[in-house]
Amino acid sequence: MDRGTFDALMRQTLKDQAEKVSMPEARKQQIYEAVAECRKVPACQTQPDGQAGACCRKEEHSMKKSGKWKVLPVAAALCILGTMAVMAAGKIVGYSSSHDVNQPDFATYADMARADEAAGFAVKVPEKFDNGFSFDRGFLIEEKAHDENGEIVDTFPVVSVFYKKGGESLTLDIKQVRPEWSETTTGNPRSIQYGDKTLVYSEDHYRFVPPDYQITEEEQKAVEAGELYVSYGSSQVEDSIVCFLQWTEGDVQYILLGDGSTGLGMDGMVEAGKQIIDSPEL
């Protein structure tokens, strides 16, 4: 899984969890304590074999507004335990971003007309898909690139669009290609040619676990093999298969993200991707 895919997953998970979870104060405090421990871990710890070890990825939704915490559950932070290739640039080792899911920059599809001017690059964003998913909201997110010391070394814009069909959701992330990003190597990537575009489909297995969960030896082996990603912060153990479809158009990267509950699978995701490709620029 590459860094762009990682960030797309984080935003989707944060949004879904923030919308559906309500928790008592005691549970909130438990999450805060787990987050405090999580933040002690550097953005990425480089191992001798050139791989990145335990990574703590934060989405700064825990900003205070009017003296109140806005997003509290898994949205506070997600610690991913997995092996990911260190970025080719050698300096950038992690990313973080911030946005309030309740305050979209593009509240209606008509608002998307200014997305390209706001982002600084042209984007393709269909209003709806033939599979029944339709525009829900959109965001212009400032992504921050961090070095091994956690310092911000660069920032860049990401257009993130959420689609809904009943209780299911899809996310489309659009950003300019970063030189440090690597090709997808996990999740059994499969390439599909569509005209002059190469679409890459992959699936990753995520396990969301409570803050005090002790990872098993079998799980650790799967983590090290890149077959499992463990995220701390849920109230119980939950498994999810996350589907990704990504491609580039010129210097712009598109990532379409959905979980297994959408029922789309590879064929459905690819058809949605083709519809994006065939859409006119905004």
pLDDT at 199: 97
The answer on pLDDT for 53 being more than 90 is: no
pLDDT mean over 194-218 = 92
Residues 6+ apart with CB under 8 A from 127: 109, 134, 135
> What total of structural domains would you count in the chain?
2
Per-residue pLDDT reduced to its tens digit, 40-51: 333 333 333 333
Residues 28, 121: one domain?
no
C-alpha dihedral (81, 59, 38, 80), degrees to nearest 10 = 0
Per-residue pLDDT reduced to its tens digit, 96-148: 877 788 899 999 999 999 999 999 999 999 999 999 999 999 999 999 888 88
Residues 22, 138: one domain?
no
Look at 104 and 231; give whichever has higher pLDDT: 104
Tell me the pLDDT of the chain averaged across its residues: 74
pLDDT at 9: 58
Residues 110, 196: one domain?
yes
The answer on pLDDT for 84 being more than 70 is: no
Adjacent-strand bridge partners of 203? 243
Residues 193, 85: one domain?
yes
> Residue 84 to residues 80, 129, 257: CA-CA distances in angstroms?
10, 32, 19
Question: pLDDT-derived band of residue 3, with 50, 70 and 90 as boundaries?
Answer: low
Look at 179 and 166; give whichever has higher pLDDT: 166
pLDDT mean over 76-84 = 29
Among 12-21, 186-195, 247-256, the range scoring the smallest mean pLDDT is 12-21
Residue 45 domain-assigned (yes or no): no
Contact 171, 257 (CB under 8 A): yes
Residues 16, 61: one domain?
no
- Backbone dihedral region for residue 36 (phi beyond 0: left; psi -120 to 50: alpha; all else: beta): alpha
pLDDT mean over 51-79 = 29
Look at 9 and 263; give whichever has higher pLDDT: 263
Residues 132, 270: one domain?
yes
Residues 1, 89: one domain?
no
Domain that holds residue 85: 55-278
Residue with tokens 């070890």: 53
Torsion sign across C-alpha atoms 225, 158, 134, 194: negative
Per-residue pLDDT reduced to its tens digit, 192-205: 999 999 999 998 88
pLDDT at 83: 27
Rg of the chain over Cα atoms, rounded to whole angstroms, equals: 18
Residues 11, 131: one domain?
no
Residues 169, 256: one domain?
yes
Residue 171 domain-assigned (yes or no): yes
Residues 118, 228: one domain?
yes
d(CA 244, CA 273): 10
- Backbone dihedral region for residue 125 (phi beyond 0: left; psi -120 to 50: alpha; all else: beta): beta
Contact 240, 206 (CB under 8 A): yes
Residue 67 domain-assigned (yes or no): yes
Residue 126 domain-assigned (yes or no): yes
Residues 122, 14: one domain?
no
pLDDT mean over 242-249 = 93
Residues 6+ apart with CB under 8 A from 222: 205, 228
Contact 11, 62 (CB under 8 A): no
Residue 192 domain-assigned (yes or no): yes
Residue 76 domain-assigned (yes or no): yes
Residues 118, 26: one domain?
no
Residue 46 domain-assigned (yes or no): no
Residue 49 domain-assigned (yes or no): no
pLDDT mean over 240-252 = 92
